[in-house]
């Protein structure tokens, strides 16, 4: 992917890239931690907790986490886009993020929180698997 020029100041600054990585990890914790909490409730654990109230809190924090991930990730991407676009693991990671978003949209479009049926449970399991795989891919970008 030669010809795509990044913003070298981000990668060269002694604090910028590490700070972005920290923000990215905090975003992952917010996103995944709150999704797991809601998914456990969908699977029947914590059934005494009011689902709608839990969903409002968990989904709001998950969206905030995703926005933090997106902002920090795009800024890290800007440091060296050519190298990342040439990295197959990065491309797979981005595809999985897209699939996770599509799965979430389908879950909510079909009223998964109202149904709590086998499909809703499968979609939440798929969500967890996709996000864990995204994290694994993210860690492997630097090594493959």
Packing angle of the helix pair 16-42, 118-140 (nearest 10 deg): 160
> Which residue range forms the structural domain that includes residue 74?
10-140
Answer whether 114's CB lies under 8 Å from 46's CB: no
On whether residue 57 sits in a domain, the answer given is yes
Give pLDDT tens digits for 11-62.
778 899 899 999 999 999 999 999 999 999 999 999 999 999 999 999 999 9
Q: What are phi and psi of 14, to 5 degrees?
A: -65, -20
The residue to which tokens 């499968």 are assigned? 122
On whether residue 4 sits in a domain, the answer given is no
On whether residue 41 sits in a domain, the answer given is yes
Domain count of the chain? 1
- Report how far residue 92's alpha carbon sits from residue 94's, in angstroms, rounded to the nearest whole number: 5
On whether residue 2 sits in a domain, the answer given is no
Give pLDDT tens digits for 80-121.
899 999 999 999 999 999 999 999 999 999 999 999 999 999
On whether residue 1 sits in a domain, the answer given is no
On whether residue 92 sits in a domain, the answer given is yes
Answer whether 3's CB lies under 8 Å from 85's CB: no
State the pTM of this model: 0.90
The average confidence (pLDDT) of the chain is 94
On whether residue 127 sits in a domain, the answer given is yes
On whether residue 72 sits in a domain, the answer given is yes
């Amino acid at each position: 992917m030669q010809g795509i020029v990044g913003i070298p100041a981000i990668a060269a600054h002694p604090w910028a890239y590490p700070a972005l990585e920290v923000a990215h990890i905090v975003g992952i914790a917010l996103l995944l931690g709150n999704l797991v909490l809601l998914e456990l409730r969908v699977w029947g654990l914590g059934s005494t907790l009011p689902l709608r109230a839990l969903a409002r809190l968990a989904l709001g924090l998950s969206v905030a986490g995703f926005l933090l991930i997106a902002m920090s990730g795009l800024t890290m991407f800007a440091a060296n886009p050519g190298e990342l676009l040439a990295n197959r693991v990065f491309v797979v990671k981005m595809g999985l993020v897209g699939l996770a978003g599509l799965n979430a949209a389908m879950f909510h479009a079909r009223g998964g929180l109202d149904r709590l049926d086998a499909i809703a449970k499968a979609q939440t399991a798929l969500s967890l698997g996709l996000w864990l795989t995204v994290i694994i891919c993210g860690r492997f970008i630097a090594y493959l």
